[in-house]
Amino acid sequence: MAALNLQELSLILDQDLIIHPDDIHQALATARQHLDSPRPDSQQVLAAEVPVEEEYQAEVKKLRYEGNFEKGILVVYQGGILDSGHREFLFKVLGAVGCSLKDIALVSTRHLLELPPESIDQLSPSKCLVFGSFNHPVMKFKTTNYEIVSGEREYFFADALEDLPDNVQLKRNLWNGLQVLFQIKK
């Protein structure tokens, strides 16, 4: 069977394939053991294995997200898992500005912090909505919550999703800022 590249694999896999860095290192160690055995074509095999390793390493370091990212909007929420109540609140707010899961890339800070700082740039979103506060280079763009920061892309920072549903003033601030960001006149 011929080896398939990632694009060809994506045509036959109907679910996301997640490759853990430890699995790559283990597979590469096994492959190197086989390559170390004396064979006349070992140099050719080694040369063929290097691009595969680089391809997998690049895939591992890509930003994984939920959604289809059709409108180029990155939504980052503080934490690892978004509980159902906060998820419902987030999608109600996004629906009010004309967005759904198909329009955004939804990412947890837990995943974002595992990646190199340039992972957001590789995704190249037009807008970044950040809920919460965490130690990441994207936070350097934050001036104050609920204000739009323009530049290469538009950034909008808000309080953590856990703080918003029960606080009327914070919800009002969020709505007013999102109206400006998405140019909604109501």
Shared domain for 82 and 174, answered yes or no, is yes
Shared domain for 55 and 80, answered yes or no, is no
Asked if the structure places residue 14 within a domain, the reply is: no
Q: Which of 104, 150, 151 is nearest to 131 (CA)?
A: 104
Question: What are the CB-based long-range contacts (under 8 Å, 24+) for 4-11?
Answer: 5/55, 6/55, 6/59
Tens digits of residue pLDDT in 1-32: 566 666 665 656 655 556 656 666 666 666 66
Asked if the structure places residue 6 within a domain, the reply is: no
- Kind and range of the H or E run holding 55: helix 42-60
Tens digits of residue pLDDT in 116-139: 988 998 999 999 999 999 999 999
Tens digits of residue pLDDT in 63-80: 899 999 999 999 999 999
Judge if pTM exceeds 0.85.
no
Give the E-state strand segments of 7-153 in sequence order: 73-77, 104-108, 127-131, 148-149
Shared domain for 126 and 49, answered yes or no, is no
How many structural domains does the chain have?
A: 2
Shared domain for 135 and 158, answered yes or no, is yes
Shared domain for 56 and 144, answered yes or no, is no
Tens digits of residue pLDDT in 40-66: 454 444 445 555 555 545 555 788 999
Residue 72, classed as helix, strand or coil, is coil
Residue 119: CATH number of its domain? 3.40.470.10
Give me the sheet containing 154-158, strands edge to edge: 104-108, 73-77, 127-131, 154-158, 148-149
Please give the distance of CA 110 from its chain centroid, rounded to a whole number.
10
Domain with 87 in it: 73-181
